[in-house]
A and B are shown apart, each in its own frame.
Chain A
Amino acid sequence: MARIDLVDLAHSYRGNFAAPESFALKPVTMTWRQGGAYALLGPSGCGKTTLLNLISGIVTPSRGKILFDGVDITPLSTQKRNLAQVFEFPVIYDTMTVGQNLAFPLKNRGVPKAEIDARVAEIARLLDLAPWLNRKATRLTADAKQKISLGRGLVRSDVAAVLFDEPLTVIDPELKWQLRSKLKALHRDLDLTMIYVTHDQTEALTFADTVVVMHDGRVVQSGTPAELFEKPAHTFVGYFIGSPGMNIVPAEVRGREARIDGHTIRLDRNYDGLPPGARIEIGVRPEFVDVEAPGSGLLSATIERIDDLGRVRFARVRIGDAKFAARVPPGFSLDGNEAGLRFDSSRVHVYADSLLVEGK
């Protein structure tokens, strides 16, 4: 168990002297708290697996350091790092039984037999694998195999952190839910640092206390699910998290006002002194824009269509050239397609070159 610090860590698969823009992981400095449940969220190719493999030692960083509890472990091999990793596809040792699979990491480390048996029994109980201990592991289903892979990680009592690399990709949807709750429960029981890589925001938001969003090799925000939802630090976070994603539209912002296509939206904070020449956008989540009948004080917009998601309805609307998604309040119906939009002004954020600007 350990706190993990990344110090100016970066990696390029093209060698150490490649141009910084081509880095698979751009320099990052951050701390993973002992016992935290983290999710690394991002689209395919954003560098999240690279980051995970750097931590586990499968990949050696081009630059920077990794510290476990303050000790630099960058030069150490994977074996010496005391990590557990669960891969996308379940890794099972074909010739062994479930029990032998679980015992394998301990046997390799020369742990006494009695202790191995006790640990294996304990882990099998935690993962509900006890009835299958003497079965050949190859004949089990994908989710049971994935549990075995996980069990091999947990069976070592000294493991510093458990890393998951999209572990539920090959699992059936209804079992995904069960396995995820199992992971949550294990996290509570065992007080382990867990890092979970995924491109699925539901998985990330339900699993983690802290979600680290990556985009194009960079960590763009790290925070609780609520922070990511309410205050995305980068337009990518706004757009990637939430369904539909955040509305991000170019605007002219001056003081407490944003202008879109001649319409004015009031802002709660003052945004004087935005960097000159920057690309200015405002971002607001569809949940904080309500569609109403046209009226004074509302922005007039054209409704293009309404998506009924069952629980909520979202309207796709247009203000000039800018497209918005907005919430349609329950029971609301409209004649024609002209509507008014009511913005929750405290939820409208301003972005300069994709980065959040704090108003005063």
Chain B
Amino acid sequence: MDKTVNHKAWFLVLPVFLIVAFSAVLPLMTVVNYSIQDTFGNNQFFWNGVGWFKELLDPTTDLGERFFASLWRNLFFSAIILAIEVPLGIVVALSMPREGWRVAACLVIMALPLLIPWNVVGTIWQIFGRPDIGLMGYTLNSIGLDYNYVSNEFDAWATIIVMDVWHWTSLVALLCYAGLKSIPDAYYQAAQIDGASRWAVFTAIQLPKMNRVLLIAVLLRFMDSFMIYTEPFVVTGGGPGNSTTFISIELVKIALGQFDLGKAAALSLVYNLIILIVCWVFYTVMTNAGAERAPEKGVA
């Protein structure tokens, strides 16, 4: 293919380059800079090479231990909320009305949790769950359950998971609903004619037609839950002990609590890299799934 050579085009891209440089590349480079140096304050820096990275990836050191502990904790958290939110979102989407004023009502109600700022969500649940004044905490205790998210690890996890499900299931449901709405009526009519049961309609039509939006939903929810910070920080502050200290909370502790800039920078970069890799894997899977659906030439 012949391409028109036009160097003027670069000038048009220049503003974007500049914006991206100042907003993303330069800040990232300062982090890279910190990650290979050590500082004792006073703006004095010493070369440390890959020392911080070695320490970070070695579970026998304190830093490595904390990193891996929070990483597994975080992955476990993501796995749980995906396992709950995705099926639940599908069920909600399937049971949403398909037309009439109820659609609008449903959409508004479902969008509400998505519009609330993270720290407000955290505060709501922090109060909601308190055994002394919180509606949920008080009720649970008064029916005989010993619930206290401040002192009990399981309760802390349960609270954060329920909070996340409350906050984000709507997103999955709305995406699924959009996927369902895009299925032409002819599919349902054909399924009726083919004598398909409700379950067969779900597995043969609805689920396959939703798989793209589901991939997007899984991707978004994974990224978001993997980066979660504000809500658990507000509710449990990472406790009790370290039981709800996710990577981002650990990172803030190291960077701002201990002021270990080098360790924090190394952790940030590895954290970033994990997210990039996951993104890339998802992206590849999704584009492959799309390519599979394109018709093959010359068949039949």
- Chain A residue, CB-CB nearest to B300: A144
A and B contact pairs by CB, cutoff 8 A, 20 listed: A56-B189, A58-B189, A58-B192, A77-B192, A85-B189, A94-B208, A95-B204, A104-B200, A105-B195, A129-B300, A135-B299, A136-B292, A139-B294, A140-B299, A141-B295, A141-B300, A142-B295, A144-B300, A147-B300, A152-B190
Whether B205 is near chain A, meaning CB under 8 Å from some CB there, is: yes
B197 in contact with A108 (CB, 8 Å): yes
Please name all residues of chain B whose beta carbon is closer than 8 Å to the beta carbon of A84 when the two chains form the complex: 193
Q: Is B29 part of the binding interface, using a Cβ–Cβ cutoff of 8 Å? A: no
B184 in contact (CB, < 8 A): yes
Contact A132 B299 (CB under 8 A): yes
Does B196 make an interface contact (CB < 8 A)? yes
> Judging by beta carbons under 8 Å apart, are B295 and A139 in contact?
yes
Q: Are B295 and A140 in contact (CB under 8 A)?
A: yes
Let me know if A271 is at the binding interface, CB within 8 A. no
Which residues of chain B have C-beta atoms less than 8 A from A149's C-beta? 190
A residues near B, CB below 8 A? Answer: 56-58, 77-79, 83-85, 87-89, 91, 93-96, 104-105, 108-109, 128-129, 132, 135-136, 138-144, 147, 149, 152-153
Cβ contact within 8 Å between B194 and A105: yes
Instruction: Enumerate chain B residues within 8 angstroms of A77, measured Cβ to Cβ.
Output: 192
Question: What distance in Å separates the Cβ of B261 from its nearest Cβ neighbour in chain A?
Answer: 51
Contact A108 B186, beta carbon cutoff 8 Å: no
Task: With both chains docked as a complex, state the minimum distance between the C-beta of A172 and any C-beta of chain B, in angstroms.
Answer: 12
Q: Across the interface, do A78 and B193 meet the contact criterion of CB distance under 8 Å? A: yes
Inter-subunit contact B299/A139 (CB<8 Å): yes
| A78, A91, A135, A140, most chain B CB atoms within 10 A | A91
Q: Name B196-247 residues within 8 Å CB distance of A.
A: 196-197, 200, 203-205, 207-209
- A108 x B194 contact (CB < 8 A): yes
Q: Which residues of chain A are near B207, meaning CB under 8 Å?
A: 95
Q: Which chain A residues border B296 with CB–CB below 8 Å?
A: 139-141
Residues of B within 8 Å of A, CB-based: how many? 26
Inside 8 A of A79's CB, which chain B residues have their CB? Answer: 192-193, 195
A149 vs B193: C-alpha distance when bound (angstroms):
11
For B186, the closest partner residue in chain A by CB is A87
CB B288 to nearest CB in A, in angstroms, measures 13
Within the assembled complex, what's the spacing in Å between the Cα atoms of A127 and B189? 23
Answer whether A94 and B189 are a contact pair too, CB < 8 Å, given A105-B195, A108-B196: no
* Residue B154 CB within 8 A of the other chain: no
B186: contacting residue among A88, A109, A144, CB under 8 A = A88
A105 to B195, CA, bound (A): 6
**A residues in contact with B72, CB < 8 Å:** none
Contact flag A108-B195 (CB < 8 Å), given A132-B299, A149-B190: yes
Kindly report which residue of chain B lies nearest to residue A108, judged by CB atoms: B195
Q: Is the CB of A109 within 8 A of B293?
A: no
Instruction: Provide the bound-state CA to CA distance between A93 and B208, in Å.
Output: 8
A88 and B209 alpha carbons, distance in the complex (Å): 19
Pick from A91, A95, A132, A144: contact of B190, CB under 8 Å: A91
Bound Cα distance A91, B196 (Å): 14
**What string of 1s and 0s marks CB contacts (under 8 Å) between B274-300 and chain A?**
000000000000000000111111011
Is residue B187 contacting chain A, with contact meaning CB distance below 8 A? yes
Q: Bound state CA distance, A77 and B195, in angstroms?
A: 10
Q: How many Å from the CB of A13 to the closest CB on chain B?
A: 14
For the complex formed, measure the closest distance between the CB of A124 and the CB atoms of chain B, giving whole angstroms: 12
Please encode chain B, from 4 to 45, with 1 for each CB lying within 8 Å of some chain A CB and 0 for all others: 000000000000000000000000000000000000000000
Contact residues in B for A152 (Cβ distance below 8 Å): 190, 194
- Residues in A with CB closer than 8 Å to B203 are 95
Question: How far is A215 from B285 in the complex, measured between Cα atoms in Å?
Answer: 50
Q: What is the minimal beta-carbon distance from B70 to any residue of chain A, in angstroms?
A: 38
When distances are taken between beta carbons in the complex, the residues of chain A under 8 Å from B189 are: 56, 58, 78, 85, 87
Q: How far is the CA of A143 from the CA of B295 in the complex (A)?
A: 11
Closest to A131 in B: B300
Bound-complex Cα distance A37 to B150 (A): 76
Residues of B contacting A139 with CB < 8 Å? 292-296, 299
Find chain A residues with CB under 8 A from B190 CB: 85, 87, 91, 149, 152
Interface residues of B in 75-134 (CB under 8 A from A): none
CA distance A58 to B300 in the complex (A): 31
Closest 10 CB pairs between A and B?
A: A144-B300, A91-B190, A94-B208, A87-B186, A105-B194, A108-B195, A78-B192, A93-B204, A139-B296, A95-B208
CB distance from A192 to the nearest CB of B (A): 15
Inter-subunit contact A138/B186 (CB<8 Å): no
Q: From the candidates A58, A93, A132, A136, name the one contacting B205 in the complex (CB within 8 A).
A: A93
* A89 and B184 alpha carbons, distance in the complex (Å): 9
Q: How far is the CA of A152 from the CA of B209 in the complex (A)?
A: 20
Residues of A within 8 Å of B186, CB to CB, are: 87-89, 91
A141–B193 CB distance below 8 A: no
Contact A56 to B193, CB < 8 A, known contacts A108-B200, A140-B295, A140-B300: yes
The answer for the CA separation of A140 and B293 in the assembled complex, in Å, is 9
Q: Looking at the assembled complex, report how far the CB atom of B284 sits from the nearest CB atom of chain A, in whole angstroms.
A: 19
Could you tell me the distance in whole angstroms from the C-beta of A138 to the nearest C-beta in chain B? 5
The CA-CA distance from A149 to B292 in the complex, in Å, is: 20
Tell me, in angstroms, the Cα distance from A105 to B194 when the chains sit together. Answer: 4
From B192, B205, B292, B300, residue with most partner A Cβ within 10 Å: B300
- Closest partner residue, chain B, to A88 (CB atom): B186
Hey, which chain B residues are within 8 Å of A93, CB to CB? 204-205, 208
With contacts A83-B193, A85-B189 known, what are 16 further pairs, Cβ within 8 A?
A: A56-B189, A77-B192, A87-B189, A89-B186, A95-B204, A104-B194, A104-B204, A105-B195, A132-B299, A135-B299, A139-B296, A140-B299, A141-B295, A142-B295, A147-B300, A152-B190
